Amino acid sequence: MAENQELKPLVVTSVSEMQRIASELRRAGKRIGLVPTMGALHLGHMSLAVAAKEDADVVIVSDFVNPTQFAPGEDYDKYPRTLDADVTLLQQIEVDYVFAPQPSEMYPDGFNAKVHIGGVTELLEGEFRPTHFDGVATVVLKLFNMTQADVAFFGQKDYQQTLVIRKLVRDLNLPIEIVVCPIIRERDGLALSSRNQYLSSTERQEALVLNKALEKAEELIRSGERDAPVVIDAMRAIIATAPSAVVDYAYIGDPESLVELSRIAGDVVVLLAVRVGKTRLIDNRIIRR
């Protein structure tokens, strides 16, 4: 186990080694914090790792591009894989372990388990990416088991994913605490995402319509608009100003259940999925009253 700070983070690529380390840490009474990522780390991920450092005795960042959450034709092959750069970033905040297993060890021949969470997975991302959340729930459960984490950190940017993870934990009585950290944005409002690097400079500029649309939604709701379709039309009008943007959904729902709302009476979450050129971006804003 890496006690020497110069060795941090220790990169663990084998599942059995990760399990051995996790068992040792638990025996030593350490509180283990996990930050599940697919790598290509940016400041959004770093904010999760910093939150984990503040909360846990030992922090593990998993760095694994999970094939089962991509459908055929999605960006699995071109998804950026930048393990060395990720480790260098994590060195700066002295994360303890980076867990970077091989797909062949995560999913060996004959692997055929699948975790399916119902309800909240069936709309929005679930409609556009029908196999996505099974892949997420399955890999996240495996990562929880392999690292024996006490607490795991997720970003609000993947809002529906956070609800799926909470449901996974609740329905399967997993002994783990879930912490959701705020969205980190560029100065001009673009939510950080590993997929932003697919955008050309024109598309990068056009992608600002997502946050602008969310700002407009908040402004309308705060100034008393209660009719959700009116707010959604205003958001769509802003997005339509970007020639290469196509809306997959613009949605106002209950923040816990995601049930669609036509009247805005209490807290809401506003969710967007927009394709900008070939890049699909998601963003959201919780508006509390």
| Residues belonging to the active site | 45
Residue 181 binds ligand PAF, judged by CB under 6 A: no
User: Which pair of tokens denotes residue 39?
Assistant: 């790598």
| CA–CA distance, 167 with 22 (Å, rounded to integer) | 24
| CA–CA distance, 139 with 145 (Å, rounded to integer) | 10
Q: Are 248 and 275 in contact (CB under 8 A)?
A: yes
The residue from 18, 32, 33, 37 that contacts ligand PAF (CB under 6 A) is 37
Residue 69 binds ligand PAF, judged by CB under 6 A: yes
Of 143, 155, 172, whose CA–CA distance to 51 is shortest?
Answer: 155
Minimum CB–partner distance for residue 224 and ligand PAF (Å) = 35
CB atoms within 10 A of CB 2: 14
| CA–CA distance, 276 with 202 (Å, rounded to integer) | 10
Site map (CB under 6 A) of ligand PAF, residues 111-150, x = contact: -------------------------x--xx----------
Minimum CB–partner distance for residue 139 and ligand PAF (Å) = 5
Minimum CB–partner distance for residue 66 and ligand PAF (Å) = 4
Number of residues that bind ligand PAF (CB under 6 A): 10
| CA–CA distance, 264 with 147 (Å, rounded to integer) | 41
Minimum CB–partner distance for residue 4 and ligand PAF (Å) = 28
The residue from 9, 36, 44, 101 that contacts ligand PAF (CB under 6 A) is 36
Alpha-carbon torsion (164, 50, 75, 65), positive or negative: negative
* Window contacting ligand PAF (CB under 6 A); options: 2-10, 33-41, 50-58, 88-96: 33-41
Minimum CB–partner distance for residue 45 and ligand PAF (Å) = 8
What does each C-alpha distance from 280 to 10, 228, 247, 273 come to in angstroms? 33, 24, 9, 7
Question: Which residue, 37 or 196, has its beta carbon nearer to ligand PAF?
Answer: 37
Site map (CB under 6 A) of ligand PAF, residues 196-235, x = contact: ----------------------------------------
Please state the length of the chain: 289
The residue from 38, 40, 192, 269 that contacts ligand PAF (CB under 6 A) is 38
Minimum CB–partner distance for residue 96 and ligand PAF (Å) = 18
Question: Which residue, 28 or 85, has its beta carbon nearer to ligand PAF?
Answer: 85
Q: What are phi and psi of 89, to 5 degrees?
A: -60, -45
Of 284, 232, 289, whose CA–CA distance to 261 is shortest?
Answer: 232
Question: Which residue, 37 or 47, has its beta carbon nearer to ligand PAF?
Answer: 37
Q: What DSSP designation does 235 have?
A: H
Name which of residues 149 to 168 contact ligand PAF (CB under 6 A).
158, 161
By DSSP bridging, strand 279-287 and strand 32-37 are unpaired
Residue 284 binds ligand PAF, judged by CB under 6 A: no
Q: Are 50 and 30 in contact (CB under 8 A)?
A: no
Give the interface with ligand PAF as residue ranges (CB under 6 A): 36-38, 66, 69, 136, 139-140, 158, 161
